[in-house]
Amino acid sequence: MPYCLSCGTKTDFETTDCPDCGQAITRRIDPPGETVEAGPGRAVSGEAVDDADDEVGATATDSSAEADSTAQTETVPTTDPSGPSPFADRWALPFAAGYPVRDDYRSLTVGGILEFLGLFVPLFSLVTVGYGFRLLRATARGQAGRPAFDEYGQLFVEGLKCAFVVALYGAVGFAGSVAAIVAGSADEPLGLALWVTVAFVSVYPLPASLTVYGATDDLRAAFARGHAGRFATSWTYLKAWVVWLVGLAVATVLTGLSLVTLAGPVVVRAWSTCALATLWGYYYREAAARDAVPPAPDEPVA
């Protein structure tokens, strides 16, 4: 039954003006089975309108499901490193700079606070280092979605893992330095050659062990010739070293510029720790795509 939109009075289908308020009836409910003109040269039945509404609703539902599927796909790592990389359209440095702050700036805010506390208690800085490890692991696994900066106790443990690997290389460097001093006292050229060898062995493969450990969470792989060794002797690793040095230079310049502010240096330090770790994860995935190293496990990083 038609009704007036102004006063609500019920009318019949032939009435064009409301008998109570006199307003024109601009909207009518048509009886079942009859047709109403839907536009010039086109008629649509009441049942057809319902079918069209159902079709539109189904299309909207399908679109929503497809959008949800796409959102989930973005956070799931690409398990095949030889396939299309989610980072393929980004250069290494811009990607590494933006990935830690994707979606929000929590890594800068929380990381800056932790780095400030680390000026007094260095252990706080291990939490930021641990988050860098988490970013490295996610990037090495091809995960487009940035992992969360939470579970600080677990991040602290991740930072301790990094410190452990650095300490092992430091012990090798210390022992080699003592041997170089002893050798240099007897034969100066031999001592100099030993110094160069110790410096190379203690510094160049260190990022390889840290990257492999961060990507696989396997301490044995971090020192295995078939894993970290293959990574350290690949052309991808040499390229990563060059880009890493450029990133260090950029971070140093930004730190110097940030000295004009109070909180700038600690924020830049937190960002550079996360960005440079992401950079190594980026190149680990590239090395895996080139079969230089085994691919990282494909479990998502929360």
The helix/strand/coil state of 36 is strand
Q: Are strands 42-45 and 35-39 parallel, antiparallel or unpaired?
A: antiparallel
What does the pLDDT look like over 281-295, one tens digit per residue? 999 998 998 888 988
Q: Kindly list the distances between the CA atom of residue 271 and the CA atoms of 19, 203, 217, in Å, as whole numbers in the listed order.
A: 73, 23, 23
Task: Give the predicted TM-score (pTM) of the model.
Answer: 0.71
Lowest-pLDDT range of 80-84, 118-122, 201-205, 248-252:
80-84
- Residue 28 to residue 36: CA distance in whole angstroms: 10
> For the residues 145-168, what does the mean pLDDT come to?
91
CB atoms inside a 10 Å sphere around CB 247: 19
Both structure tokens of 6: 């102004």
What does the pLDDT look like over 179-227, one tens digit per residue? 888 888 888 888 788 888 888 888 999 999 999 999 998 889 999 999 9
- Residue 289 to residue 81: CA distance in whole angstroms: 5
The kind and range of the H/E element at 242 are helix 235-258
Nearest to 236 by CA among 281, 169, 201, 272: 281
CB atoms inside a 10 Å sphere around CB 131: 31
> For the residues 9-18, what does the mean pLDDT come to?
70
- Residue 253 to residue 257: CA distance in whole angstroms: 6
Average per-residue pLDDT for the chain:
79
Distinct helix (H) and strand (E) counts, the chain: 11, 2
Residue with more model confidence, 201 or 70: 201
- Residue 54 to residue 31: CA distance in whole angstroms: 20
**Percent of the chain scored above 90 by pLDDT?**
35
- Residue 196 to residue 7: CA distance in whole angstroms: 95
**Per-domain residue ranges of the chain:** 35-68, 85-289
